[in-house]
Amino acid sequence: MSPLLTRQPPAFVAQAPLLDARDVAVEINGKRILHGADLTVRPGELVAVVGPNGAGKSTLARAVSGLQRTAGGSVLWSGVPVEQLRGRQLAQLRAFVPQRASVPDGITVREAVRIGRSPHVKPLGRLVRADHDAIERAMERAGVEQFAERRLTTLSGGELQRVQIAVGLAQEAPVLMADEPTSHLDLGATATLAKLLRGLTRDGIAVILVVHDLSLAAAVADTVVVIAHGRSVASGAPEAVLGRERLADVWHVDAALERREDGHTALHVAWLGRTDADADESFHPDA
């Protein structure tokens, strides 16, 4: 019998992290983009991946998702190396929401979310009741059911982004990874999406959020991973890794992150800079 027909299903490890990526390296067109990046996520955890432009955040997201070939390191999904997982198996473990999703003409919201269910449908098979129920749950959870019959091309940026989240949720994967989902959204739409993503963790879904906005990362994340020059340079609670010294070292800015008792967060930035004398008197890096 052909080895392809006798291939055994992956031996997932029950107590392993949903994702455990270590020392990941990526080369694109002969250029090393990632030199050694780590990323771990467990059920019900929201991990924000932050860093300057060009640091390698999106490359790391695509690499651990199995969408970008790695040049070194290891990526384990529930204890199984990513290279041992076929496309359908991987799609049932993680849903990837890209930074710039295509918006085809003539497709309605419901039809788009239905596509997200495809990993659970056998080739040439038809959707069954469980699939239709999953699609409805995904639209309801993402708050898009009220415009389910509208075409994608008629939606606002915030509405479209929530549809993309719904597409991911229809996969019913334990991990949802969103690459810069708020990059083109206004404040209101950003807050709505942040509340949605944070709410998913209460249902046990793990969320990996690649984001530029440090205030947003600090407000919603359990863990923040800082990527700089293709490496992970810090990982931990937001207040622990986004201290004044690291903000200066990684982003080259005089800034301080504040979280108030009422839950509000703010990033205080010396936008116009300071004199050396002012900096000596007022810049006190975190311990």
Per-residue pLDDT tens for 152-190?
999 998 999 999 999 999 999 999 999 999 988 899 999
Over range 192-199, report the average pLDDT.
94
Q: What is the pLDDT of residues 9-32, one digit of tens each?
A: 777 787 889 999 999 999 999 899
State yes or no: pLDDT of 275 exceeds 60. no
48: buried, middle or exposed (CB in 10 Å: 19+, 13-18, 0-12)?
A: buried
Q: What is the pLDDT of residue 94?
A: 95
Contact 75, 24 (CB under 8 A): yes
pLDDT of 57: 95
CA distance 188 to 121: 36
What digits encode the pLDDT tens for the residues 216-274? 999 999 999 999 999 999 999 999 999 999 999 999 999 988 888 777 788 889 988 75
pLDDT at 125: 73
Residue 287 has pLDDT above 50, yes or no: no
Q: Which position has the higher pLDDT, 208 or 257?
A: 208
Which residue, 39, 91, 88, 16, is CA-closest to 208?
A: 39
- Per-residue model confidence as pLDDT tens digits over 30-49: 899 999 999 999 999 999 99
| Contact between 75 and 118 (Cβ < 8 Å) | no
**Domain spans of the chain, in order of start:** 19-93+173-282, 105-172
Compute the average pLDDT of residues 84-109: 87
**Domain 19-93+173-282, architecture per CATH:** 3-Layer(aba) Sandwich (3.40)
Phi and psi for 223 in degrees, rounded to 5?
-135, 140
